[in-house]
Chains A and B, each alone.
Chain A
Amino acid sequence: MLWVSRKTIKMNYFPDEVLEHMFFFITSHKDRNSVSLVCKSWYKIERYSRQRVFIGNCYSISPERLIARFPGLKSLTLKGKPHFADFNLVPHEWGGFVYPWIEALAKSRIGLEELRLKRMVVSDESLEFLSKSFVNFKSLVLVSCEGFTTDGLAAIAANCRFLRELDLQENEVDDQRGHWLSCFPESCTSLVTLNFACLKGEINLGALERLVVRSPNLKSLRLNHAVPLDTLQKLLMQAPQLVDLGTGSYVDDPSSEAYSKLKSVFQRCKSIRSLSGFFEVAPHCMSAIYPICRNLTFLNLSYAPGLHGNELTKLIQHCRKLQRLWILDCIGDKGLGVVASTCKELQELRVFPSDLGPGNAAMTEEGLVLLSEGCPKLNSLLYFCQQMTNAALITVAKNCPNFIRFRLCILDPVKCDPVTNQPLDEGFGAIVHFCKGLKRLSLTGLLTDQVFNYIGMYAEQLEMLSIAFAGDSDEGMLYVLNGCKKLRKLEIMKSRFGNAALLEDMGKYEAMRSLWMSSCEVTLGGCKTLAEKMPRLSVEIINESEQMEFSHDDRQKVDKMYLYRTLVGHRKDSPAFVCIL
Chain B
Amino acid sequence: MSSEEAPGSSESDVTSMSYEDTELTLGLPGEGRSSAVIPALKCSAKRGFIETFDLNLGRCCNTSWGHRHSDKHVNESGAGKPPATKAQAVGWPPVRSYRQKAINESSKLYVKVAVDGAPYLRKVNLEHYSNYQDLMKDLDNLFTCFTIRNSNMEESKLMDVAKGMEYVPTYEDKDGDWMLVGDVPWKMFIECCKRIRLMKSSEAAVLALAPKASTPKCPSPS
Contacts and interface: CB of A to CB of B under 8 A. Distances in A.
Interface residues of A, number: 59
Interface stretch (A11-19, A174-182, A356-364): A356-364
A414 interface: yes
A550 interface: no
Contacts of B86: 357-359
Contacts of B131: 253
Interface in A136-158: 144
Interface residues of B, number: 51
Given A87-B95, A409-B93, 4 more contacts: A306-B127, A353-B93, A356-B103, A359-B86
B102 A414 contact: no
Contact of A86 (B31, B57, B94, B103): B94
B107 A89 contact: no
Contacts of B92: 87, 413, 468
A413 B85 CA distance: 12
A559 B80 contact: no
Given A356-B100, A547-B60, A472 B94 contact: no
A251 B129 CA distance: 7
Contact of A414 (B32, B56, B81, B99): B81
Contact of A421 (B57, B80, B93): B80
B45 interface: yes
Interface string B66-94: 00000000000001111011101011111
Contacts of A355: 103, 107
A422 B34 contact: yes
B42 A423 contact: yes
Contacts of A357: 86
B53 interface: yes
Contact of B128 (A84, A198, A251, A518): A251
A281 B129 CA distance: 9
B104 to A, nearest CB: 8
Closest 6 CB pairs of A and B: A416-B80, A170-B98, A357-B86, A89-B91, A86-B96, A87-B91
27 contacts: A88-B97, A172-B97, A198-B98, A251-B130, A280-B127, A282-B134, A284-B137, A284-B138, A305-B103, A358-B81, A411-B93, A412-B84, A414-B80, A415-B80, A416-B79, A418-B79, A421-B31, A422-B39, A446-B80, A448-B42, A448-B43, A448-B46, A468-B94, A472-B46, A494-B53, A519-B57, A547-B60
A446 B46 contact: yes
Interface of B: 31-34, 39, 42-43, 45-47, 49-50, 53, 56-57, 60-62, 79-82, 84-86, 88, 90-100, 102-103, 106-107, 125, 127-131, 133-134, 137-138
A306 B98 contact: no
B61 A359 contact: no
Contacts of B97: 86-88, 172
Contact of B82 (A144, A414, A448): A414
A409 B94 contact: yes
A356 B95 contact: yes
Contacts of A494: 53, 57, 91
Interface in A412-452: 412-416, 418, 420-423, 442, 446, 448
Interface of A: 84, 86-89, 144, 170-172, 198, 251-253, 280-284, 302-303, 305-306, 352-359, 384, 409, 411-416, 418, 420-423, 442, 446, 448, 466, 468-469, 472, 493-494, 496, 518-519, 545, 547, 557, 559
A198 B43 CA distance: 43
Contacts of B56: 557
Contacts of B130: 251-253
A493 B80 contact: no
A28 B57 CA distance: 43
Contacts of B127: 251, 280, 306
B42 A472 contact: yes
Contacts of A86: 94, 96-97
B142 to A, nearest CB: 9
A480 to B, nearest CB: 18
> Chain A CB within 10 Å — which of B60, B81, B85 has the most?
B81
Contact of A282 (B46, B62, B129): B129
Given A253-B130, A306-B128, A144 B98 contact: yes
B96 A87 contact: yes
B147 to A, nearest CB: 16
Given A86-B96, A303-B102, A358-B85, A559 B50 contact: no
B160 to A, nearest CB: 21
A423 B93 contact: no
Contacts of B99: 170, 302, 352
A172 B98 contact: yes
Given A384-B93, A468-B94, A545-B62, A412 B102 contact: no
A494 B89 CA distance: 11
> Chain B CB within 10 Å — which of A144, A468, A469, A518 has the most?
A469
B98 A421 contact: no
A225 to B, nearest CB: 10
A302 B107 CA distance: 14
A268 B92 CA distance: 44
A423 B43 contact: yes
Contacts of A384: 93, 95
A39 to B, nearest CB: 44
Contacts of B125: 280, 305-306
B113 to A, nearest CB: 14
Contacts of A411: 93
A494 B52 CA distance: 12
Nearest to A447: B46
Contacts of A352: 95, 99
A353 B95 contact: yes
B155 to A, nearest CB: 21
A354 B95 CA distance: 11
A134 to B, nearest CB: 28
B42 A518 contact: no
B59 to A, nearest CB: 9
B91 A518 contact: yes
A87 B94 contact: yes
Given A358-B86, A421-B80, A518-B91, A305 B96 contact: no
Contacts of B45: 472
A491 B128 CA distance: 40
Given A86-B96, A283-B128, A412 B81 contact: yes
A469 B50 contact: yes
A465 to B, nearest CB: 14
A414 B91 contact: no
B108 to A, nearest CB: 11
